[in-house]
Amino acid sequence: MTGDPEPAHREREAVAALADDFLSGLREWLTIPSVGADPAHHADVGRSAEWLASALRADGWPVVEVWDSGPALPAVHARWPSDDPDAPTVLVYGHHDVQPVDPVELWHTPPFEPVLVGEELFARGASDDKGQVAMHLLGVRAHLAATGRTSPAVNLVLFVEGEEESGSPHITRLLDEHRAELASDLIVFTDTPLYERDAPTVCTGQRGQYAADVVFTGGTSDVHSGRAGGGVPNPATALARLVAALHDDAGRVGLPGFYDDVAELSETERASWAELPFDEAAWLSANAGGAQAATGEEGFTTLERVWARPTAEVNGIAGGYTGPGGKTIVPASASVKLSFRLVPDQRPEHVADQLRAFVAAHTPPGVRAEVIERGAGAPPYAVDLTHPANLAVHDALEAALEQPVRFSRTGGSGPAAILHGWLGAPVVYLGVTLPGDRIHAPNERVVVPLLLRGAEAAAHLWRLLPGRLS
Amino acid sequence: MTGDPEPAHREREAVAALADDFLSGLREWLTIPSVGADPAHHADVGRSAEWLASALRADGWPVVEVWDSGPALPAVHARWPSDDPDAPTVLVYGHHDVQPVDPVELWHTPPFEPVLVGEELFARGASDDKGQVAMHLLGVRAHLAATGRTSPAVNLVLFVEGEEESGSPHITRLLDEHRAELASDLIVFTDTPLYERDAPTVCTGQRGQYAADVVFTGGTSDVHSGRAGGGVPNPATALARLVAALHDDAGRVGLPGFYDDVAELSETERASWAELPFDEAAWLSANAGGAQAATGEEGFTTLERVWARPTAEVNGIAGGYTGPGGKTIVPASASVKLSFRLVPDQRPEHVADQLRAFVAAHTPPGVRAEVIERGAGAPPYAVDLTHPANLAVHDALEAALEQPVRFSRTGGSGPAAILHGWLGAPVVYLGVTLPGDRIHAPNERVVVPLLLRGAEAAAHLWRLLPGRLS
């Protein structure tokens, strides 16, 4: 599928030749505790950006900038134009901020002292996302070394933000300010894992989300359940009835209009997912906190439910007396935190309208309702499997891994759809980390041979893309 | 209706002659902070019991005992047998422990320094229940003085407990230990208010209650709502669906079998209640914490709903993340505190069985359910309006108040049904306090002229009962 095996072979050799240098650089970068969520580490986020900028300059990138004028934590931007005047422009997205390390006592080795054990490199950020950003630097070097070019076959634009683990609060501001520098024909998003090491995949989409609190209030104080119980509405009961109406008995979300914009999954994509190995018990243990059963919307598999179907979830619910023992009251109020995962082509702003109408329709007499948005939400994104760039990623990865590569998605949300929305370019996903990398948890690791294969895949991709996108 | 007006007149004059002495005694008793809920005041509960015992001895009661051998806080027992060998035996129930005084800063005068302002006596316990217990002591003195008897016309048995405000945790133990001393033909329960000063009533019943927590658990930890949301059951959603099923759209409780034992209200009682003045806004303000509307089971008035219909209430609900902002999780567990008010002839133990079956039927796959009882509950109690003792109370109160007296109930629960269950005697209610007395709240008061009318009514009652019960 990759055509001539010779160039791929040369790219592999180039990666192998640069591997030691790559690894020592990555280990150095991983010593910088760029924990964006902790103001005490904001200077470290700056140091991390400067480290990356220096590495890019050392690699020969002609334009390297650290965007540190605030309010966003420092982001790194670099460009390497192609000599080829017809070359497409490709933006590579990643991030260099990392998750906090607590509970730090559960780490077997200090999180910012990288340790290589066999093929695993342990450190915070090794997988998410410094390892994969470094993989791209290596990929470009290998691409140039293997092809003998002095500039890449595509115009490369790098955008490595410093706030992804904080929810990318200023990404739209950066995109707005730097629209010209970031303009591109394609976005390569690098912050997602393979499905499994033995069943590698190209990710093709992420769900969006919308979140809001609903508060139901009866009176101004709790009521004695003997004195008035049965004679006044119970806001907690009313809220439970609203929550119950959020789903029908088939597990479909009950907001009127919720499914109007939902794109049905193609038979091709369903078939690709059906080929993936899936062990329910293992999946529950790894993904679902030890839940006892995989259940959900009727007519869909678990993977379809979590990757391609929208949801309504109660994140938290509270009302009345919740301490030890009892208190026989009718609570004055009750509230619920809801979040919705969205799939193409749903829009958070439509779901917001649907939720407000739903709450109004489910507010009983004597109860006042309030809907409090938790942010504007994030749109969903998915690329068509048959998009030439997606097929190029697939072929590049298959060549690098020397395994059949299928397709997957991820159920979480990320900035891919935001990049797509602001830059107008399609997004493809190139990622080679694993679900078992313990990102966001103690003892994060990355499997180094996979990072090297990922760099090969990136080198393949830069070579393949001009032909595929023409 | 009271027959010869002369005896009633003499009883009124006797009460008037003893009023100053009564009031100075009550004020002294009210200085003792017998807060049963506070271990720091347990010695005061003992002092309060001793005060009452001394007062009874001074009044001439031939048998007076303080039951203070634990674990119950000290209770007072007294007996005054009638010289008449055919006299019925009547147990008078009240309590001498009082509610805590917090928030004490909202009191206009110190809670244990009784202050008389016009006809209102302000102090913790003035209404609930020391005032009404003292009223009985005065009633007996007036009964003897007015009739010229040296012993009452009925065998009087007094039982004044010290733990009512703590939920009477040891009352069944006292009843068991002292079954012989407390044996009686009738129980006069004195711890309920009139409906309104301008619409006085005889209380004829109290609701029972049963309370339990239901806990739903999915996995052992919260789940990322992106990674697994839609693919695993949400225990909070499941719990909301269970709570929603607790009521149908007509406001009826959804536990199968719940209404099987519910005695329908008689047309006489409904008609009596329909004559009571009822202003919804005023009722909501006084009883329902400023709730915006009186709603409930279809086909019943508000008073019927809170006095004679059973309920299912959410007292509190909790699950997942409930702090500021949001957290997009599927919670590992969620719990709800439920309480049920019961009416004749429901039984708490039947409702317990119904709840367990209901929870089992509403536990979805992948969720574990736990039902945790909060005590054994309390049975409901109501006396037939036409019971001769109930009519005697009605007539005694009507003579004392010189107003038409109707019937009412109270929606709360109390030990009346427990006394009935252990002693096998019917219960009637003699109470002359007011809903506006702010019991359990700052600035508790009692309307002294009503207490004096209540003492008259008690004096009338002891005179009337032998003929009515024969």
pLDDT tens readout for residues B122-139? 999 999 999 999 999 999
pLDDT category at B54 given cuts 50, 70, 90 is: very high
pLDDT at B3: 55
Please tell me the distance from the alpha carbon of residue B163 to that of residue B394, in angstroms, as a whole number: 29
Is residue A54 scored above 80 in pLDDT? yes
A367 touches chain B (CB under 8 A): yes
Backbone torsion region of residue A230, taken as left when φ is above 0, otherwise alpha when ψ lies between -120 and 50, otherwise beta: left
Following CA atoms A246, A252, A256, A259 in sequence, which dihedral angle do they give, to the nearest 10 degrees?
140
Helix (H) or strand (E) holding A212: strand A208-217
Is residue A1 scored above 50 in pLDDT? no
pLDDT tens readout for residues B210-241? 999 999 999 888 888 888 999 999 999 999 99
pLDDT tens readout for residues A268-326? 999 999 999 999 999 998 888 888 899 999 999 999 999 999 999 999 999 999 988 88
Q: Which residues contact B281 (CB under 8 A, 6 or more apart)?
A: none
Mean pLDDT (whole number) for A28-43 = 96
State which residue of chain A sits closest to B238, comparing Cα positions.
Answer: A244
Is residue B34 scored above 80 in pLDDT? yes
Domain end point (choices B347, B373, B399) = B373
As a whole-number percent, the residues of chain B with pLDDT over 70 amount to 99
Cβ of B316 and A315 within 8 Å?
A: no
Is residue A15 scored above 90 in pLDDT? yes
Q: Using a CB-CB distance cutoff of 8 angstroms, which residues of chain A are in contact with residue B438? A: none
Please check whether residues B104 and B250 belong to one and the same domain. Answer: no
pLDDT at B224: 87
Residue A272 belongs to some domain of the structure: no
Please check whether residues A59 and A198 belong to one and the same domain. Answer: yes
Please check whether residues B458 and B332 belong to one and the same domain. Answer: no
pLDDT category at B1 given cuts 50, 70, 90 is: very low
* Tally of CB atoms within 10 A around A233: 24
Please check whether residues A160 and A128 belong to one and the same domain. Answer: yes
The CA-to-CA distance between both ends of chain A, in Å, stands at 18
Provide the total of helices (H) and of strands (E) in chain A, helices listed first: 13, 18
Residue B306 has its nearest CB partner, among A213, A230, A292, at A230
Please check whether residues B424 and B349 belong to one and the same domain. Answer: no
Q: Using a CB-CB distance cutoff of 8 angstroms, which residues of chain A are in contact with residue B364? A: 295
Residue A26 belongs to some domain of the structure: yes
- The C-alpha angle A466, A468, A469, rounded to 5 degrees, equals 70
Residue A354 belongs to some domain of the structure: yes
Min Cα–Cα distance to chain B from A209, Å: 9
Contact B337, A320 (CB under 8 A): yes
pLDDT at A9: 95
Residue A365 has its nearest CB partner, among B245, B295, B367, at B295
Domain end point (choices B373, B395, B415) = B373
The CA-to-CA distance between both ends of chain B, in Å, stands at 18
Contact A186, A464 (CB under 8 A): no
Residue B286 belongs to some domain of the structure: no
Please check whether residues A35 and A128 belong to one and the same domain. Answer: yes
Size of interface A-B (CB pairs under 8 A): 335
Please check whether residues B117 and B244 belong to one and the same domain. Answer: no
State which residue of chain B sits closest to A209, comparing Cα positions.
Answer: B226
Q: What are the tokens at B367? A: 């969720």
Handedness of CA B114, B115, B116, B120 (dihedral sign): negative
Residue A366 is part of which domain span?
Answer: 212-262+309-377
Please tell me the distance from the alpha carbon of residue B146 to that of residue B83, in angstroms, as a whole number: 16
pLDDT at A3: 55
Query: pTM for the full model?
Result: 0.90
Residue B144 belongs to some domain of the structure: yes
Please check whether residues A163 and A14 belong to one and the same domain. Answer: yes
Please check whether residues A223 and A349 belong to one and the same domain. Answer: yes
* Residue tagged 């602001």 (tokens): A422
Residue B305 belongs to some domain of the structure: no
Who has greater pLDDT, A289 or A450? A450
Q: Using a CB-CB distance cutoff of 8 angstroms, which residues of chain A are in contact with residue B413? A: 226
Closest CA to A66 of A80, A49, A79: A49
Is residue B102 scored above 90 in pLDDT? no
- The C-alpha angle A271, A274, A280, rounded to 5 degrees, equals 165
b/e sequence B73-110, b meaning 16+ C-beta within 10 Å = bbbbbbbbbbeeeebbbbbbbbbbbbbbbeeeeebeee
3-state secondary structure of B178: coil
Please tell me the distance from the alpha carbon of residue B411 to that of residue B304, in angstroms, as a whole number: 9
* Residue tagged 């910088």 (tokens): A32
Please tell me the distance from the alpha carbon of residue B141 to that of residue B16, in angstroms, as a whole number: 11
Please tell me the distance from the alpha carbon of residue B141 to that of residue A110, in angstroms, as a whole number: 84
Please check whether residues A16 and A153 belong to one and the same domain. Answer: yes
Mean pLDDT across chain A, nearest whole number?
Answer: 95
Cβ of B316 and A327 within 8 Å?
A: yes
Cβ of B319 and A314 within 8 Å?
A: yes
Residue A125 belongs to some domain of the structure: yes
Q: Using a CB-CB distance cutoff of 8 angstroms, which residues of chain A are in contact with residue B245? A: 244
Number of structural domains found in chain A: 2
Handedness of CA B431, B434, B440, B445 (dihedral sign): negative
Min Cα–Cα distance to chain A from B133, Å: 23
Surface-to-core class of residue B404, CB atoms within 10 Å of its CB (0-12 exposed, 13-18 middle, 19+ buried): exposed
Residue A289 has its nearest CB partner, among B219, B226, B411, at B219
pLDDT category at B414 given cuts 50, 70, 90 is: confident
Mean pLDDT (whole number) for B199-220 = 96
pLDDT at B375: 86
Please check whether residues A194 and A326 belong to one and the same domain. Answer: no
Please check whether residues A80 and A68 belong to one and the same domain. Answer: yes
Please tell me the distance from the alpha carbon of residue A194 to that of residue A433, in angstroms, as a whole number: 6
Cβ of B337 and A318 within 8 Å?
A: no
Q: What CATH number does the domain containing B229 carry?
A: 3.30.70.360
Interface test with A, best of B195, B206, B222, B234 (most A CBs within 10 A): B234
Which residues are registered as beta bridge partners of A188? A92, A428
Domain end point (choices B357, B373, B389) = B373
State which residue of chain A sits closest to B244, comparing Cα positions.
Answer: A241
Q: Which amino acid is at B18?
A: L
* Tally of CB atoms within 10 A around A467: 11
Please tell me the distance from the alpha carbon of residue A169 to that of residue A164, in angstroms, as a whole number: 8
Q: What CATH number does the domain containing A416 carry?
A: 3.40.630.10
pLDDT tens readout for residues B267-321? 999 999 999 999 999 999 888 888 889 999 999 999 999 999 999 999 999 999 9
Contact B98, B35 (CB under 8 A): yes
Min Cα–Cα distance to chain A from B285, Å: 9
How many residues appear in chain A? 470
Mean pLDDT (whole number) for A340-360 = 97
Residue A292 belongs to some domain of the structure: no
Is residue B35 scored above 70 in pLDDT? yes
Mean pLDDT (whole number) for B384-407 = 97
Which of A4-13, B17-26, B261-270, B314-323 shows the lowest per-residue confidence on average (mean pLDDT)?
Answer: A4-13
pLDDT tens readout for residues B319-332? 999 988 888 899 99
Q: What are the tokens at B182? A: 């407390």
B183 touches chain A (CB under 8 A): no
Cβ of A296 and B231 within 8 Å?
A: yes
Mean pLDDT (whole number) for B187-207 = 96
Rounded to the nearest 10 degrees, what angle do helices A388-401 and A5-30 cross at?
A: 80
B296 touches chain A (CB under 8 A): yes
pLDDT at A276: 97
Who has greater pLDDT, B232 or B413? B232
Cβ of B293 and A330 within 8 Å?
A: no
A314 touches chain B (CB under 8 A): yes
B247 touches chain A (CB under 8 A): yes
